[in-house]
Structure 1
Amino acid sequence: MALKHFVLVHGACHGAWCWYKLKPLLQNAGHRVTALDMAASGINPKRIDELLTLRDYSEPLIQFLESLPHDQKVILVGHSLGGLNLSTVMEMFHEKIEIAVFLSAFMPDHQHTPSFIFDKFIEANPEEDFWLDTEFKSSGDPMETLTTMFFGPKFISKLYHLSSPEDFELAMTLRRPSSLFAHDAWKPKTKLSEKKYGSVKRVFVICEEDRGIKETFQVWMANNSSVEVEELKGADHMPMLSMPQNLCDCLVKIANK
């Protein structure tokens, strides 16, 4: 089995800490693993209101890929909102990415701007109470209106409904405000290209019991981009916490194909 280098990218309001169970499992399987905090996440010193664009938010991942030698390739794993971080760097460093794994993650296509995925997500979740106690705040800047979001305990409970009480408390302790960067996602300049983004092999991992990004919408995203699919049966939105060994096995299987 060839040694692979997995780079793990967390979702909104989370940080590199959420991979604490998966990282040693992949390492014990003989692989190299890097888990990164995006800007204003985990222990990254930036504040969310200092960020204007998705690229700003992705800067730690951009810097990491820039530092890699040209002959090294990585397997990117993006969870939830982390799919947008993946799409950003796939457009910039497609030659350094062996596979991009979208783990119940927002996956844009190259026919539309990334906002298309958000529009469809809102259509699929029209209920007023979908976001429960998530706090949304606008920066008030008329030129670059960044709306931040901060998951409350009820919403985190929905994401963690098959995870342990201890991991729920960990999330409650370490969560930080984030953003969907929707104001940036609709701009024409953010549209992805088939030549770069589209050239990277993509695999979508479906979490069957996900209540945050429901299975039907995950399937729609995978079909919308015609990508390979793997499924984690019985997984909630946080499979790296609720079933880390199953996720490890899935990622190793993808890497070995």
Structure 2
Amino acid sequence: MSAPAVATAAEGATRIILVHGTGHGGWCWYRVATLLRAAGHRVAAPDLAASGADARRLRDAPTFEDYTRPLLDALRGLPGGERAVLVGHSFGGMSVALAAETFPEKVAAAVFVTAFLPDCANPRSHVIEKLALADWMDSVTDAEHVPASVFLGPEFRRRKLYQLSPPEDYTLSQSLARASSYYVADLRCQPPFSEARYGAARKVYVVCGQDRALVEPYQRAMVAGCPVAEVREIAGADHMAMFSAPAELAGHIADVANTYA
């Protein structure tokens, strides 16, 4: 479907929390956050642990829950009865899933933007391990420490993630990208997300047609394995949809917030 304009926030608008992916930080949402705020939406884009401007080092966040703690704390701090629309990009989908599992009563909807979408049948690591990414190019990995880390290399980012994004946003990533982790070993040890909690969350998946990392067939395969309320599409977006199609993405997020809140 075509993206709507950035709809004005409904009265008593639900808070929108934008969750970044691996190696990035809340900074990557600046274009989308600006558009949503201009339309009256209440928006937060936290840095997860050891990401963005968060001062911790990766070794200070040894588990996936440690890494996701800033998002969990944001939900825990919502006033009684208030709910948020969570928007996860890429690996941020895993953090959104954990938040919905932990605080289902505080999640109005969970939006997955070309993101990992775990199911309720397999180990939590399944959707990450199943992705067959053949060429990490100049990315650097370290499996000797806890957690195992990855730094997404500049050529990998340029060719696989940012190929349609403005060059100034790719340049911004050159300055701000950090080593992070996919926490596969930790996630592999956890039970599947539950049908009663995460499984019950209203989910929307945003397919990005020009993603060269989480390619469209894999995005749709995840959706086939985990029922969602609706699928939306941005045909011309690369992996970094917040840069390559910010107005379209903001339009979808605003519409979801007004519909599901």
- Where on the TM-score scale, by shorter chain, does this alignment land: which range? over 0.9
**Residue of 220, 233, 236 corresponding to 1:234:** 236
Partner of 2:88: 78
Alignment of 1:1-257 (within 5 A): 1-2=10-11, 3-122=13-132, 125=133, 127=134, 130-140=135-145, 145-157=146-158, 158-187=160-189, 189-227=190-228, 228-257=230-259
**Whole-angstrom distance in 2 between the partners of 1:101 and 1:11:** 13
Cα deviation code 1:192-225 (max 9, x no counterpart): 1101111110111000101111000001111110
SS at match of 2:174: helix
TM-score, L = length of structure 1 = 0.93
**Whole-angstrom distance in 1 between the partners of 2:234 and 2:177:** 25
The sequence identity of aligned pairs, in percent, is 40
Q: 1:112: how far off? A: 1.0
Q: 1:253: how far off? A: 2.0
Write the letter of the residue equivalent to 2:23.
C
Report 1 or 2 for greater relative contact order, CA contacts < 8 Å, sequence distance ≥ 6. 2
**Cα-Cα RMSD:** 1.1
Unaligned runs of 5+ in 2: 1-9
**Whole-angstrom distance in 2 between the partners of 1:207 and 1:148:** 26
Write the letter of the residue equivalent to 2:238.
D
SS at match of 2:17: strand
SS at match of 1:240: helix
Contact 1:42 / 1:176 at 8 angstroms: preserved in 2?
Answer: yes
**Whole-angstrom distance in 1 between the partners of 2:188 and 2:14:** 35
Q: 1:190: how far off? A: 3.9
Write the letter of the residue equivalent to 1:194.
E
Contact 2:14 / 2:82 at 8 angstroms: preserved in 1?
Answer: no
Write the letter of the residue equivalent to 1:213.
L
Q: Aligned pair count?
A: 247
**Whole-angstrom distance in 2 between the partners of 1:45 and 1:139:** 22
Unaligned runs of 5+ in 1: none
